[in-house]
Amino acid sequence: MTASTARTDEAALPKRNLARLYLLEAKFEFLKLWRLRGYSVSTLVFPLMFYLIFGATFGRFTTQGIRVATYLMVSYAAVGVINAAVFAFGAGVAAERGQGWMMLKRVSPMPPSAYFVAKTVMAMLFSALVLVILTVTAYLMQGVHLAAGAWLELLGVLVAGVIPFAAMGLMFGYALGPNSAPTVLNLVNLPMAFASGLYIPLDQLPPLIQHIAVYLPAYHFAQLALSTIHADAIGSVAGHLTALAAFTAVFGFVAVRAYRRDEGRTYG
């Protein structure tokens, strides 16, 4: 009889180099997306481009008690993180499911976690790159300077922010087809980031949007990131963390449901 739980103890299996396996999976995941211009450009170059335009225009004003130049550095980095995670998981999973690449991996002895760990690590790497690019640009262009401690804290929040948006991406990746995924993700991502105050500071936006913002994961993520550089926080850190945890749980739940529903058709 075929048991549904097929967890074999790794120790009982013929030996293979697991560290190398995970490392290669992450390395090739990174290379794969680095070479995919649609991904690397939109993740790394778009936030920079926005910063060059809006940072130069509004940089000298203040918002939430800090310079807009600083605010935008943080919020555009958040945009980069969200794009890196949502597209790697959303468009990536949808495409790889559509191709049959996922099916081939499921048949192989690859530990399933390797696939997801690799995508997470890769999105985190892109997130760190976005922050570095924006930090250098903000410093050269606007003289924005953060204390090393605050910068590292910001880096930590941004990198951890990959997790809720990876869950969001997975949800779309399993629910959507390979062709519709990128379009739908753009249609969701852009308004979400805008209404969360990532492109233009929240206090510059109409009150209606400020009311909507609290229901969006990107808003809570951005406020958490801003709290690390001592901006006047809107809401509490604990509140934002709770909201993000709840979003992650809901996205994860829907993703698992969509995965189960899909399993019989495209092999997952």
User: Given the complex with another protein, which of 46 and 101 has the nearer CB atom?
Assistant: 101
> Could you tell me which residues are beta bridge partners of residue 67?
62
DSSP 84-105: HHHIIIIIHHHHHHHHTHHHHH
Binding-site size, another protein (CB under 8 A): 39
Cβ atoms of 21 and 110 within 8 Å: the answer is: yes
User: Given the complex with another protein, which of 83 and 137 has the nearer CB atom?
Assistant: 83
Minimum separation from the CB atom of position 48 to another protein (A): 22
Helix extents (H) in 162-268: 162-175, 181-195, 207-213, 217-227, 237-266
Among 49, 61, 99, 156, binds another protein (CB under 8 A): 99
φ, ψ (nearest 5 deg) of residue 61: -75, 175
φ, ψ (nearest 5 deg) of residue 161: -65, -15
Helix extents (H) in 35-176: 37-40, 46-50, 56-58, 68-86, 92-99, 101-107, 112-142, 148-160, 162-175
**What residues from 30 to 49 belong to the interface with another protein (CB under 8 A)?**
31-33, 35-36
The reply on whether position 147 binds another protein by CB under 8 A is no
The reply on whether position 15 binds another protein by CB under 8 A is yes
Cβ atoms of 160 and 245 within 8 Å: the answer is: no
State how far the alpha carbon of 186 is from the alpha carbons of 130, 178, 218, 220, 257, in Å.
19, 14, 14, 20, 23
Minimum separation from the CB atom of position 12 to another protein (A): 7
Among 48, 111, 151, 209, binds another protein (CB under 8 A): 111
Region of 9-17, 56-64, 122-130, 235-243 interacting with another protein (CB under 8 A): 9-17
User: Given the complex with another protein, which of 92 and 161 has the nearer CB atom?
Assistant: 92
Among 45, 48, 110, 117, binds another protein (CB under 8 A): 110
Residue appearing with tokens 């097929």 = 6
Minimum separation from the CB atom of position 26 to another protein (A): 11
The reply on whether position 230 binds another protein by CB under 8 A is no
> Could you tell me which residues are beta bridge partners of residue 66?
63
Helix (H, G, I), strand (E, B) or coil at 198: coil
Minimum separation from the CB atom of position 9 to another protein (A): 9
Among 106, 211, 257, 261, binds another protein (CB under 8 A): 106
**What residues from 148 to 207 belong to the interface with another protein (CB under 8 A)?**
none
The reply on whether position 256 binds another protein by CB under 8 A is no
Residue 261 tokens read as 């529903």
Minimum separation from the CB atom of position 15 to another protein (A): 6
The reply on whether position 103 binds another protein by CB under 8 A is yes
Helix (H, G, I), strand (E, B) or coil at 81: helix
Among 65, 100, 143, 156, binds another protein (CB under 8 A): 100
Residue ranges that bind another protein, judged by CB under 8 A? 1-4, 6, 8, 10, 12-17, 20-21, 24-25, 28, 31-33, 35-36, 96, 98-101, 103-104, 106-111, 264, 267-268
